[in-house]
Structure 1
Amino acid sequence: MRSSCSRCSSVGRSPVAGAKVAIQTPPMRSGWRTIFVSLDDGSQGERGQVDLTFFDDTHEQAASTLVHHFLILARGTVSRRGQSVTVIGTLARNLQKIADAHRAGGTAAVLALLNQPTHDTSDHGREAGDRRQAGAGRLWQASPGSPG
């Protein structure tokens, strides 16, 4: 996907799809979390990888899908800085669920699914200011020895 994104304009909306190969949610000084995801669309080498960044204001729509699913369809704005191309994500969907909908009901079923609102239920009912709190329901994964 990187090959096609590298030809995108500096500011443009783009859907990207692929298998999640990496996800990171490093702590920030502000206390908010930013989710960094790399997807691979199956193309040869690095050309098939695209980097996505999801800021805190998108977590309600995207975090659960990004953390819990392997095949992702994401939408965002292409950001180019020199040779580096990143998609600033606004929405993420479970690509397997979309494929299953297509198999069961064709294009109409996919469109119906994509027109449904997405919400991350792990953060349901919490105010934006409460998201800084660590603990149950947090949006990042911690491994042994990890500060997060």
Structure 2
Amino acid sequence: MSAHSDGPARVEVVLVKAGRMKIRYPAELLADDGVRATVRAPWAGEGVRDFGFVRFEPGDMFTEHYWRDRWYSVKEVRAADGTLKGHYCDITRPAELSAGRLVVEDLDLDLWVSADGGDIRRLDEDEFAASGLLTRDPEAAAAAVAALDELDARAREGGFGALLA
């Protein structure tokens, strides 16, 4: 993108899992301070994804925060009317942003925090255990578990306000 273009910068978010591309979607780059990149994108899934405790659906808007030095991303999820649904956190390797592509490797573990902070759920711990990461890359597995513990503690100690400020 040239320095003279009009409108917001665009990036392609690429989520990789187990060495394969899981999903890719265009997003608006809101900020990048060299450590944290923040993008905004509409729900990129097909149709409605009902987890039982939250529904992601067409019209939902995700403001996604990715770090180059942390093992997670935090996604603020809002309904089409702007109402905060909550925060969906992916445990990932640190993000890489270059040539208009923001690439992250999903390490299976996730955390959901409802808008009021009353519902905090660790997700996909069974998938993580079955992924083989503990054997294949014990250092990455330890970093992933520590990242999940950190986010869980932040959520229980007052939320993500300071982290996302």
TM-score (norm 2): 0.29
Q: Which has the higher contact order (CA 8 A, sep 6+)?
A: 1
TM-score (norm 1): 0.32
Bigger fraction of residues in strand:
2
